[in-house]
Amino acid sequence: MNGSWIEPVLAIVGLAVITVVSRSFFMIPERELPLPGWLKRGLKYAPLAALTAVIAPEILMTQGELIDTFMDARLPAVVCASAYYFWRRGILGTILVGMAVYLPLHIGWGW
C-alpha cells in the first residue's frame, strides 16, 4: 500500500506527455512539410476509411462474428437510411429514417 499511488500517477503523466507531443507535431515545423502528390490524394479518403472501419463491424457483426440471419433490424435500417441519403443528401434525415426503421423492428418485433 506504500507506493501504490506512484504507478497510476506515472501512467497518467506519461500518457498526457505522449498525447501532447503527438498532437503538436503539426505545430513544430516553421513551414509546411512537403507531401508527395499520391499521399495528398490518399489522405482525402482517410476520413471515409476511418468511418467505414468503425461503422461496418457494428452493422455486420454481433459479438465478434458475422451476422448469420437477415432477421436483424440493422440491415433494413441501413438500406433505408442509405436510400434516403442518396435521395436527399441530408444527414439528419438519414439518421431519423434509419432509427425509424430500426427501433420498431428491434423493440417491437425483437429482431
- pLDDT digits over 32-83, tens only? 778 899 999 998 999 989 989 999 998 899 888 998 888 899 999 999 999 9
Contacting residues for 59 by C-beta, under 8 A, at least 6 apart: 74, 75, 78
Q: Is the pLDDT of residue 27 over 80?
A: no
Q: Is the pLDDT of residue 3 over 80?
A: no
Q: Average the pLDDT over 18-30 and give the result.
A: 84
Domain positions in the chain: 1-29, 34-60, 73-110
Which range, of 14-18, 25-29, 67-71, 86-90, averages the lowest pLDDT? 25-29
CA–CA distance, 53 with 2 (Å, rounded to integer): 44
